[in-house]
Structure 1
Amino acid sequence: MTVPALHLPPLRHGPETLREEEPIGVPVRRLFAVLRRRGWLVVLIVLLGVGGMLAWLNRATPEYRAEAAVLIEPRNTQVSDLQAISPDAGNANLIRTQIDILRSPAIARRVVDRLELAGAPGFSGGPGLLTRLTIMLHDTFGLFPEAARWPSSGDPRETAAAILSSRIGVQNEPRSHVLIIWIETPSAELSARIVNALAAELLEFRRRQKGAAMERAHAWFSARLDELADRMRASERTIEDYRIEHGLTELIGTRNGVTPSLTINRQQLDDIARQLVAAETERLRKEGQLAEAEAALRNGGRVDALPEVMNSPIIRTLRDQEAQAGAREAQLSATLGARAPDLQAARSQRAGFQRRLREEMANALNGLRSEVAAARAQEASLRERLAALRRVVAQDNVAEVRLQSLQAEAQANRAIYESFLTRATQLANASGIQEADAELVSEAVPAESPSSPKRGRLLLIAFGASLVSGIAFVFGLERLREGFSTPDTLESTLGIASIGVLPQTSERARKGGSSVAAAQYSASIARLRGVLQVMGTERRTRTVVVTSALPREGKSALALGLARSAARSGSRVLLICADLRSPPELPELGPSGAPGLAEILAGNLVGDGRDVLREVEKGLHVLPSGSIAGDAQELLGSPRLGKLLDWASKNFDLVLIDTPPVLPAADALLVARQADATVFAVRWERTPRAAARDALRLLNSSGAHVVGAVMTQVKLRHFARQASDGLAYLYRDHRGYYGHPGDGRG
């Protein structure tokens, strides 16, 4: 019986055909496969981690926690704007500041002195391993600046303060002004005493801080007041000196209240201006009287026409006398003749009165003219004085500009001085009424039970950390593996189909037998042949090369297994050993040194060389490598190889060629390019991935038709635990399917 000729697909159809229906859950199954294979390592790491934590917990000293609550809230008395000098007023970082104060070395030293902790158990000795590590990192890289607080000297007080600072814990909830101060020590009583001492030191520090701030403010205000007083007095002296220098003496008026101050020159200017107006008015009045009198005289000097100024008692008397004389003359004229002595006397008397009246009027007119001249002279004098005073006042105005500047400066100095004086008075009053801004809400009491170590939490953390570390370590090892452990990994890395898995068996199992190993090996070979058959296309395959990347990867056993399986199924099979450099030591290939392929390729045999073929079992013929007498690469590159393969493909149903590895030499490339197909052997978990990729690249570049890869020397038990495909399921759950006990076949 013969089997149909093999039909193998081109390389580009292999992986896609097998993987196009890959389920989504395959990556997850791969992860679980890794955990199944290396789960013992994860369990070991978890046991070590939990065991180490248990050992530490059994040796750890129990510690007791004590805590106290302190309210930090600035409540300054509202005294004007003294909050500007009150500590912590409006300070958004108040709570952070108090935490830093609590952890400061100064507070720690005070607590050490108060409780006499220097040299006490737990507060003495050098730094621990972790502290030394942080100090080293700080000195080397500048990390962990708090490590520099550890005292370099061996002073017990400084050492105790450093240890205390490192143990102090402070908590604060957001939007709260309450600080929770806590510490853990081996003694419950000591923990409570330390926390209460810390709270007391914080409150005392706050009181000292506020008192010192008030004292500094008072001293500053006092010094500032002295300076401002000197400046105010100096500015006032400057004003007075300037007034005296420029004659700007003030005359203060107080009628109907306070009036603006006037200088002497400005007051004189105002007086002269008023006098000038009065003099000008008087001159005009005098000139009017003079003009009226002159007009009256020009009109005949009638009494009724004379101005009032010329109507003096003498003139009125003379006028009366002249009128009486005129009346008597008129009376005498009516009764006497023109030459009558009485009439002549009356006329003479009247003329005398008229003469005297004219003389008096002339004298009055001259007096008016003198008065007008005097008024005019006085007005001119006043005008001259007014002009002179205006020039002086103009100079005073220029000086007053500077004076006003000096006065503004003096007023500003006085205002500043009075403001600071008011603040200083308020500060002196507020120093005695400042309210407390920190108070102890709850003091610490000794704990009844230890707070650490928390066994349950630490064991859970150790378990979780060990589990995560173990899983990470396992997957790290998996990533560092060089070989291929599953068909999925092989296909994803190399890009070719995984067409079979050959278990690691003995020579006896490979030849056949009734053992489970023999059955599994035979089943794997049969399955590989079946895969090669169903991967058929229109291309007909007679010659198949079996090669690998490196030596000792199971390619020769694979070729022999395929040849034996095909022969037992009724096919005529020829197995050619083309590894001329290092022929495999297999009993089926005959004794070493027997003539074979090398002699045929070298042309050293008589005839066509068919007599060197050995039939090791029915249907299976073997052509050994022979004894090489030249360069193996030249022999495999000779035309005789092609003729041999043509003859073999015509006379045998299947020709299998076992070639040398690809990477050590180019022999396999010379043979593979002349064959119909190439099967690539990869040793399970041994063949480096880079070597396999390089070998496949060389095969493809030489024109070889690589149909797939076969994993060889597979330990099925381990393979079944780590792989996630159907083969692993078959080997894991149906090991005896091929007629052996426990297979469950029905």
Structure 2
Amino acid sequence: MEVRQDTAYEARLADIIAAVRDTLRRRWLVLTIVTALIVVAGVVVVYQMTPLYSSQARIRIDPSRDPLSKAADARTELSAEAIETEVTAMYSLDLARQVVRKLNLMNDPEFAGALLNSDNAKVLNSAQRETTVANAVLSKLGVYREGQTYVLGVSYVSRDPVKAAAIANMFAELYISGRVGDKTGTATQQAQWFERRLAEMGEEVRKADAAVAQYRAQSGLLQSTASGVGTIADQQVAPLAGSLAAADSEAAAARANYSSARAQVARGGLESVSEVLNSGVIADLKRQRTEVMRNKGEIEARYGSRHPESIKIREQLESIDVAIAAEARRVLGSLQAASASADARAASLRKTLNELDGKRALDARNTVAIEGLEREAAGKRAQYDSLSQQALASVQASRNSMSQAAIIDRAEPARAPSSPNKPLLIALALVAGLAAGASTITVQELMSGGLRTSDEVESQLGIPLLAAVPRETAPNPADLLIERPTSYFAEAYRIARAALLGNKEGLSQIIAITSSVPSEGKTTTALAFARTLAIAGSKTLLIECDVRRAAMRRLVKQEPTRGGIVEVLQGSATLADTMTQGDVPNLDHLLAQTPYYTSENLFGSGTMEQLLKEVRGRYQHIVLDLPPLIGLADSRALAVMADMTLMVVKWEDTPGKVAAQALSMLQGDGANPVGVILTMVDSSADVVGGKYYSRKYSDYYQAA
């Protein structure tokens, strides 16, 4: 299945190629003429064009060369939009006016036409005239970016190469100088503004710092809590809290000692108090008492209780007891005093800590306020620092004329014109000529309704194609049957004879040959077909029935007679007087001597039927050269009298609808149209075997 589809596709493609080749073979002359005319016209126009010269200057826009850029900005890049903006800026009308003034282009003849062509040129003032010339200058300016680089090309086209280079260079120079001047002037204005603004900002920063310092002094704050140092109260709270804790502990211990001492006194007297017992003074007094007690016993034992020594020692013992009691009371009082003192100290520390807590709450509120003042002061300082840096850059820019743009190539006068590109334009003219020629022959093909192939003949007319007769340039192509009987022209009529007669020799005695319209080769075909029949050995009579033209007499070599077909039908002459011998054996002629115009029914009065009946017995074939069918009545009446009718159709000329209409007339009248002969066919057309004629059949036919 796929093979059959591919084969069908190749066949269709081959048909298209063959059709194109066939069209080119037939219409090569039209194609050549149209192409040649357009190429010649193009060459003439090209060589009349004024040569134009183009010169180009190149500008580099390099942001890395900006003297104001910092090291961190060394990779500064320009966006595509920024570069396109620079390109557009080059087309500035103001820049063009400067070029006009600098180069005095107002008086240049090349731009004088712009003033002459402008409306109301005589009433333009100087500024308007300058603007007109500037627009004319801009119309020939070209600015473009080279690839993805930072290089701009500035080109100008002029009839003078020196002028083109000068204008391109001037545009580049004025662009650079204008850019530097604008930048410097802007930077100077910015520097002055920055200077005024810096003075104002400095004063604001000083006021903000003073407000922070004053508030801090008034509130007693060292600095913001955000710094981690805190206020004076914050610094005092921690050690004071530690002291208070220690004081509370000491007071509790003192109270405990005093309470314990009182409890011990209540249980056993002062001597049972541990502090009293631990007292060194009391311990010494008790040692003394012990010693006195030991002496007392000895003395009383020796002297008795009334002895002065005994009394003395008892007094000494009493004084020691008094001292011990006094010391014990003193120790107890000391414990009481220590407890009271510890309580008082703890109370004092607690009071102080409470006062600091209140101070801290106030400091917290003051801290919030001072932090706001500090933030405000810090913001003003940051603005001041940023503005200071910008001011420094502006001052440097106002004192520095270095630009980011520089001319890297100046325009030079061109040695050869840039336009017109004559070889290219001529090549384009050739292409246009070929296209126009192809379009012309395509239109001819589309507009041509003529029949070309046997398929078209059979599909549109419904009768077969008997033969296709090639076009010949000879004055009388029918003579080729005599002069070159083996040519393809002669062979075509033999093919028609074989296709027409075949096995119908007895049924095709009277053969009418007609056409739809004039100039289809009908008369030549009738003569050539009659000669073909005669050369084949058939006794043949050629009767010219197209009496209004009477063209046959110019195609045959005939001696003058006493009349022709008209006279025979009118009865003024006989067949013997009017019939002549043809140029080939077995052929006789009955022709019209002169064109005959009449309104009478020359062929419909019965005389023509009588004439044909008379000659039937003398000739094997009678060929009738009829008038065209459309527009004339004689042909339709005569076709009915014939045994068969041949339609002559001029190849690729006679519209199929016209031929079909003529055929319908014949069939409607009862005639017997049996086939078509295509005449004046191009020898390269397929219908005459054009694919093979010049090669495979070269040995069969005599070259024409």
Q: Could you tell me the TM-score, scaled by structure 1's length?
A: 0.62
The match for 1:249 among 190, 215, 220 is: 220
C-alpha distance in 2 between matches for 1:744 and 1:624: 29
Offset from partner CA, 1:61-105 (integer Å, 9 cap, x none): x66665555554341247536859x9x854556765554443322
Contact 1:107 1:198 in 2 (8 A): yes
Q: Could you tell me the TM-score, scaled by structure 2's length?
A: 0.65
How do 1:80-159 residues align onto structure 2 when only pairs under 5 Å count? 80=70, 83=73, 90-92=78-80, 96-126=84-114, 155-159=128-132
- The aligned amino acid for 2:221 is E
Does structure 1 residue 501 correspond to structure 2 residue 469?
A: yes
Does structure 1 residue 200 correspond to structure 2 residue 135?
A: no
The match for 1:472 among 435, 438, 441 is: 435
Paired position in structure 1 for 2:336:
369
C-alpha distance in 1 between matches for 2:155 and 2:325: 130
Cα deviation for residue 478 of structure 1 reads: 1.6
C-alpha distance in 2 between matches for 1:550 and 1:69: 75
Cα deviation for residue 189 of structure 1 reads: 5.2
How do 1:434-583 residues align onto structure 2 when only pairs under 5 Å count? 435-441=402-408, 443=410, 451-452=416-417, 457-458=421-422, 460-481=423-444, 482-483=447-448, 487=452, 499-501=467-469, 523-530=491-498, 554=520, 564=530, 568=534, 569=536
Contact 1:188 1:446 in 2 (8 A): yes
C-alpha distance in 1 between matches for 2:356 and 2:675: 128
Label 1:398 to 1:229 Cα distance change in 2 as closer, same or farther (>3 A): same
What is the SS of the residue equivalent to 1:338?
coil
Cα deviation for residue 273 of structure 1 reads: 0.8
Cα deviation for residue 114 of structure 1 reads: 1.8
User: Tell me, which stretches of 5 or more residues in structure 1 are unaligned?
Assistant: 1-17, 133-150, 576-583, 600-608, 626-631, 637-643, 649-653, 659-678, 700-704
Cα deviation for residue 546 of structure 1 reads: 10
Contact 2:451 2:656 in 1 (8 A): no
C-alpha distance in 1 between matches for 2:227 and 2:110: 84
Label 1:39 to 1:442 Cα distance change in 2 as closer, same or farther (>3 A): closer
Label 1:533 to 1:259 Cα distance change in 2 as closer, same or farther (>3 A): same
Label 1:37 to 1:157 Cα distance change in 2 as closer, same or farther (>3 A): closer
Label 1:213 to 1:383 Cα distance change in 2 as closer, same or farther (>3 A): same
How do 1:421-440 residues align onto structure 2 when only pairs under 5 Å count? 421-425=388-392, 428-429=395-396, 432=399, 435-440=402-407
How do 1:181-330 residues align onto structure 2 when only pairs under 5 Å count? 181-187=154-160, 190-212=163-185, 214-215=187-188, 218=191, 222=195, 225=198, 229=202, 232=205, 236=209, 249-251=220-222, 260-287=228-255, 289-290=257-258, 293-294=261-262, 297=265, 301-302=270-271, 305-306=274-275, 311=279, 326=293, 329-330=296-297
C-alpha distance in 1 between matches for 2:228 and 2:518: 123
User: How many residues are treated as equivalent by the alignment?
Assistant: 625
What is the SS of the residue equivalent to 1:376?
helix
Paired position in structure 1 for 2:318:
351
C-alpha distance in 2 between matches for 1:544 and 1:283: 166
- The aligned amino acid for 2:360 is V
C-alpha distance in 2 between matches for 1:92 and 1:238: 50
C-alpha distance in 2 between matches for 1:231 and 1:547: 121
Over aligned residue pairs, what C-alpha RMSD do you find?
A: 6.4
Of residues 95-104 and 220-229 in structure 1, the stretch that sits farther from structure 2 once superposed is 220-229
Label 1:264 to 1:522 Cα distance change in 2 as closer, same or farther (>3 A): same
Cα deviation for residue 276 of structure 1 reads: 0.4
- The aligned amino acid for 1:467 is L
Contact 2:540 2:620 in 1 (8 A): yes
Contact 1:574 1:621 in 2 (8 A): yes
- The aligned amino acid for 2:179 is R
Contact 1:283 1:372 in 2 (8 A): yes
Offset from partner CA, 1:377-409 (integer Å, 9 cap, x none): 542454455356446535755764675566456
Paired position in structure 1 for 2:577:
none
C-alpha distance in 1 between matches for 2:523 and 2:44: 48
What is the SS of the residue equivalent to 1:205?
helix
Contact 2:55 2:412 in 1 (8 A): yes
C-alpha distance in 1 between matches for 2:514 and 2:276: 160
Offset from partner CA, 1:446-500 (integer Å, 9 cap, x none): 67x6x43868x42x34432332232222222222222257846985997999752
% same residue? 22
C-alpha distance in 2 between matches for 1:398 and 1:548: 128
User: Tell me, which stretches of 5 or more residues in structure 2 are unaligned?
Assistant: 1-10, 543-549, 553-563, 570-599, 627-632, 667-671
